[in-house]
Amino acid sequence: MKNVKKAVSALLIISLLISTVFSMGGCANTTWSSKYNGKQLNAGVYMFYLINAFYEASQAVTDSQSDPFTQQVEGKDFSVWVKDKALDELHRYYAIEEKARELNVTLTEEEKTEVSNTLDTNWPNGYSKICELNHISKESVLAVNENGKLAEKLFKAIYYKGGSSEVSEKELSENFTFISVFSESLGTLETATPNEDGSEGALTDEQKAANTKTTEKNTKIKELFKNTLDEFNKKTGENAYKETWDYFFPKSNDLNADVEGYTQKNSEALPDVNVFPLKENAEEEETATEEDKKTTKALRELANDKATTIESESGMLFAYKTDLFKDRAKFELKQDEIIQGYKSEEYAAMLTDLAAEIKDKIDVNKGLTNKYGAKELVFPEQ
């Protein structure tokens, strides 16, 4: 699923800890990139976004083996898209700070120390090289990453419990649930090699024997899942799923004892809970296979605290469904995944709108941005 780190785009991409302090010759002062509401950012913040935009655009071109500068991204020339994206992110930097001021969200000294320590740890691990090539300073990097940390904290101040637009438990329960599953693959039957004239060939005796063995095992797997569901339906109480797993796993191990490289299941290896969306996503529906749609439909129709088995061409699935808040500890562990996945796009849109509102009030250093674009970036040799 999507999360808040995606929502704020390049701000949180640790692998691109890049910022630059330039002291260039010439008439234009290129040591700063922008000013807004009394805060001036140095040139490196713009360069950070420029480099990050370059990488993003490189992944979006049609032909990754050809010169990106001869191609387009979203209808724009490569260089134009990179610079526009960098400027958009620069505006968003200030939008985050603007919204944080409105909600009185700031970083504590402990949080600033955490960001600084993370930078110190990552700096020698490959980042210093690209920084040296682009005259990069740690001070600028730190400013960018503190803004990224502020974006994370701001998200929580808006959507988490007690936030300005808190997502209620009712709303979360209407949109998501927990599904716990375990599965087993079904064997694939051998097929005959076609004759030279293209006609259907005949199975060899060896293939026939293999298919008989596969069919017998598939039958046993299906029977195991049927019996497992019967066992679950006999049980009551909060430990029903765990007790069902304890019934299932030794029998599954026995069925797979002759499989080379098979990892034996055990009592402590209870499959993890999965966050499952209860409402349709048009984009995902377009790319889903008919088999996926069938499984999704069955899971959405399943009632809370109930289990079912689902058979597909590839295997058998046992699924157990529970409300998000049945187990508070479990919800706390999954809270970030749930809320960030649910609200990240809305959050990104809010920041984009706010950035557009304040854009004309931001003093961008045209001397810098006109002089430095995608073609002026320097990257380490591979």
Count of the separate structural domains present in the chain: 2
351 and 211 in one domain? no
135 and 44 in one domain? yes
Q: If DSSP codes are grouped into helix, strand and coil, which group holds residue 382?
A: coil
Domain membership flag for residue 348: yes
pLDDT of residue 11: 37
Determine contact, residues 8/348, Cβ cutoff 8 Å.
Answer: yes
Euclidean distance between CA atoms 68 and 72, whole angstroms:
8
Residue 73: which H helix or E strand, with range? strand 72-73
Euclidean distance between CA atoms 67 and 61, whole angstroms:
10
Average pLDDT estimate for 153-167: 97
Quote the Cα angle for 373-66-19, to 5°. 30
**What would the two tokens of residue 310 be?**
């689902």
Domain membership flag for residue 382: no
Average pLDDT estimate for 77-103: 97
Average pLDDT, the chain: 89
27 and 11 in one domain? yes
139 and 19 in one domain? yes
Tell me the per-residue pLDDT of 353-364, one tens digit each, with 9 for 90 and over.
999 999 999 999
> Looking at the predicted structure, is the pLDDT value of residue 42 above 50?
yes
Domain membership flag for residue 225: yes
164 and 86 in one domain? yes
Give the β-pairing of 39-42 and 72-73. unpaired
Cβ neighbors of 9 (< 8 A, separation 6 or more) are 52, 89, 92, 348
319 and 181 in one domain? yes
Domain membership flag for residue 381: no
> Looking at the predicted structure, is the pLDDT value of residue 6 above 80?
no
Domain that holds residue 317: 170-327
Percentage of the chain beyond pLDDT 70 is 92
126 and 217 in one domain? no
Enter the DSSP assignment of 68: G
Tell me the per-residue pLDDT of 244-273, one tens digit each, with 9 for 90 and over.
999 999 999 999 998 888 889 998 888 889
Residue type, 5: K
Euclidean distance between CA atoms 217 and 186, whole angstroms:
8
DSSP alpha helix (H) spans, 194-257: 205-234, 240-255
153 and 74 in one domain? yes
270 and 234 in one domain? yes
202 and 265 in one domain? yes
